[in-house]
Structure 1
Amino acid sequence: MQQPLKLKIPSLTDNIRIVESFIDHAREYYKFNDDVYGNIMIAVTESVNNAIVHGNKSDKEKNVHLSVELNEENLSFVVEDEGLGFDYENLPDPTAPENLEKPGGRGIFLIKNLADEVKFSDAGNKVSLVFYLNS
C-alpha cells in the first residue's frame, strides 16, 4: 500500500503553482490516467484556492493542508484550511437565473461536477474529493 502524499502551503494564491506540481507528482506516484487528470487538476486547485481566499481569508500566517491517497480504485484528495468554515448546506445555485450574472459562486458547483464524490466536514473547513479511477 502506498503512503499518502501530503503538502502544507501558506495561504497565498501564488502557491497554486505548488499545488499543480503536487498533483503532477501524485499522477506519477499513483499512475492515474489523462481521463481523470484534468478533472483532478481543476477541482483540487479550485478547492485549494477557496481554502486560501475564503477559508483563510488570504492570511499568509494560516496554512492550507492537502493530502492525496489511493484507496482501492479511488483517489481521495483532502483539502483543509485553518478558517472557521462555512455553511456548505445552503449555497446559492449558480445556475439559477438570479445568480447567472454574479462573478462568484461557481467554484463548489464546478468541484461537485468534476469529482465523483465531495464531502465537507462539519464546519466546512475540510473537503474530501474522491475520483474513481475505473469508471
Structure 2
Amino acid sequence: MNTISIEIPSLVENIRIVESFIDNAKDKYQLDDDLYGNIMIAVLESVNNAIIHGNKLEKSKFVQLSMILEETSVTFLIKDEGNGFVINDLPDPTSPENLTKPGGRGIFLMKHLADEVSFKDNGQEVKLTFYLN
C-alpha cells in the first residue's frame, strides 16, 4: 500500500496543485486514461467543495488530500476544517427545478464517477474509491 498526502490552503487557485498531484499519481502508478478522467473530475469536485463550502474560502483553513494505492483500488480522502453538512439535506440536481442552476452537481458527479463514495465527520471527510481493472 502506498499513501501520498498534501495539504493546501483554502484558495480556489490551489486547485492547480491538486491537478498536478493527480497527474503525478497517473504517471507514477500508470493509471489508465478513463480512470484518470474519473479521478480528476471527482477529486477536483470534492476539493472545490471543501475549499468553498467546507472552509468558506478561509485561507487560514486547510484541505487535506490523501491518495491510498492498494492492489485493487485507489482511494482519495479529502478533509476540510468546516462545520460539515447533512448529505440527505442536499437538493437533487436532477429534479426539474434544479436543472438550470449553475451549482449543486458535485456530489452527484462524485457518486457517478467513483466506485464508492462515503462521508465521515458530518461530511468534513469524503472518501472516493476507484477500482483498478
Q: If the length of structure 2 is used for normalisation, what is the TM-score?
A: 0.95
Map 1:94-105; keep pairs closer than 5 Å.
94-105=93-104
Structure 2: segments with no counterpart, 5+ residues: none
Q: For 1:29 and 1:70, how far apart are their aligned partners in 2?
A: 11
Sequence identity (%): 63
Structure 1: segments with no counterpart, 5+ residues: none
Residue in structure 1 matched with residue 127 of structure 2 by the alignment:
128
Is it true that 1:15 corresponds to 2:14 in the alignment?
Answer: yes
Offset at residue 29 of structure 1 (A): 2.4
Count of residues paired in the alignment: 133
C-alpha RMSD over aligned residues: 1.0
Residue in structure 2 matched with residue 107 of structure 1 by the alignment:
106
Offset at residue 101 of structure 1 (A): 2.0
Q: For 2:88 and 2:118, how far apart are their aligned partners in 1?
A: 11
Q: For 2:87 and 2:70, how far apart are their aligned partners in 1?
A: 25
Residue in structure 2 matched with residue 78 of structure 1 by the alignment:
77
Residue in structure 2 matched with residue 51 of structure 1 by the alignment:
50
Stretches (4+) displaced over 6 A: none
Q: If the length of structure 1 is used for normalisation, what is the TM-score?
A: 0.94
Report which of the two has the higher share of helix: 2
Q: Which has the larger displacement, 59-68 or 97-106?
A: 97-106
